[in-house]
Amino acid sequence: MASTVAPVAALLLSAALLLMGNGLQGTLLPVRGTIEAFSTFDIALVGTAYYIGFAGGCALGSRLVRRAGHIRTFAAMASIASAAALAHAVALSPWAWWGFRAVTGFCFAVLYVVIESWLNERSTNENRGLILSIYTMINLTVITIGQMMLTLDDPASFTLFTAASILISLAAVPVAMTAAAAPAPVTVTRLRLGRLYRTSPVGFVGVLAVGLSNGAFWALGPVFAEQSGMNTTGIALFMSVTVIAGALAQWPLGRASDHTDRRRVILAAGVAASAVGLAMVAFDDLSRYGLLLAAFGFGAAALPMYAVAVAHTNDYVDPQDFVETSSGLLLVYAAGAVLGPLPAAFLMAQIGTAGLFLCTASFHAALVLFVFYRIAQREAVAATEKEDFVSLPRTSPTVFALDPRGEDETVDDVLHDAAADTAPNAGSTPASDKS
């Protein structure tokens, strides 16, 4: 294992520092926004702005890397993202924060493109799955650490913004100082949403629903916890417990989906997430421990659905289409995360904190109804025809080139130029059965 990790250790360290800084910012900003008397809708727009920028970075990041190279692109994006983290503490205005957060989302998407394309270049068919597993574990671990860093100082001070900026700045050092050769230029994936939906309606709608729900939670979960009476430590625990629960539940749900209709796993998770959301609406006076227990249940049910929906969709595509398909689903998720915080903020303004989980429960309930309908329309994929479940982080389209299900293909085989979007047959439907 050491021989596998050594060539990519610098990249993994950079990724860890970036994700830690982003985890801290993601929890700090809603809390500080509340302190500064931002409205719930203003804070929701901050969350929306991040995913607008993130989607733009996913779409344009490969072009930036091709133009400037991996190291220069990484250094530039890390510098801008570091400056944006500090700027939040200087310009305490919702308008300014929307712009800063959009810039942050764009920069992080491009930074992930650099790291993940480099990881893919340094991996082989034999160790790609191991590298992806290590990278996913780092994602789940350091985001939680970043969220818990909220407890290190008063969110009303400048210190935590400085800490986030320092982490992002330091992330550039391992990449800038690495002796490893930069990878080949990154190519661009094409996006064909109509074809993607026809390939798997449940996968497409499932990822969209998860984006709507999770986008609302990440933007407004800290606000919910604060308005429910939690202190800074409680808010950090509330968000971290959710992530930990999602990490713990992902593999059991994923493995279960390997042996049954994945749509039924999505259905069960959707029912559970809806039930937890409605319970938090019905019992809005839960104790601190009750809230943490509910957060655990929500995370265990809601967070793993993305990976199961991606796996379900990829059951219907050829290996050479994994990257295109999974990249399209990531952008669908981002679109949902852009929209999700807005109705949640509206409901919170109308009925109080319970509005957040009433909103997420509604998204999950709508997904449950859609999955019921699709199960009645189409037979499940036979277990012998499925690819094994793979846990995938939601970072950039480039991460899907590490997917071991496509390991028999080279990067050039699975990545396509965006100009192919205009091809006459770009909307054609795969011959395999759709679900």
HSE (side-chain half, CA atoms, 13 Å) at 201: 15
Q: What's the pLDDT tens digit per position in 347-358? A: 999 999 999 999
The reported pLDDT for the residue numbered 425 is 41
Cα dist. 420→55, 189, 191, 327 in Å? Answer: 20, 9, 9, 15
The reported pLDDT for the residue numbered 314 is 80
What's the average model confidence in pLDDT over 274-278?
Answer: 95
Instruction: Tell me which residue of 71, 98, 75, 73 sits closest to 87, measured CA to CA.
Output: 98
Q: Quick one: what percent of the chain has pLDDT higher than 70?
A: 80
C-alpha–C-alpha distance, residues 168 and 354, integer Å? 34
Q: What's the pLDDT tens digit per position in 186-204? A: 665 667 788 889 888 999 9
Domains of the chain (ranges; CATH) run 2-422 (1.20.1250.20)
Residues 6+ apart with CB under 8 A from 245: 295, 296, 297, 298, 299, 300, 303
pTM for this prediction: 0.84
Classify burial at 334, counting beta carbons within 10 Å of its beta carbon; exposed 0-12, middle 13-18, buried 19 or more.
buried
The reported pLDDT for the residue numbered 361 is 96
C-alpha–C-alpha distance, residues 108 and 139, integer Å? 13
pLDDT at 129 over 70: no
Q: What's the pLDDT tens digit per position in 8-56? A: 788 889 889 999 999 999 999 999 999 999 999 999 999 999 999 999 9
HSE (side-chain half, CA atoms, 13 Å) at 231: 5
Q: How many CB atoms lie within 10 A of CB 188?
A: 20
Residues 6+ apart with CB under 8 A from 207: 306, 309, 310, 313, 329, 332, 333, 336
**Per-chain mean pLDDT for the chain:** 83
pLDDT at 408 over 70: no
Q: What's the pLDDT tens digit per position in 349-393? A: 999 999 999 999 999 999 999 999 988 877 766 554 556 666 666
Q: What's the pLDDT tens digit per position in 202-260? A: 999 999 999 999 999 999 999 999 999 999 999 999 999 999 998 888 888 888 888 88
How distant is the alpha carbon of residue 257 from its chain centre?
20
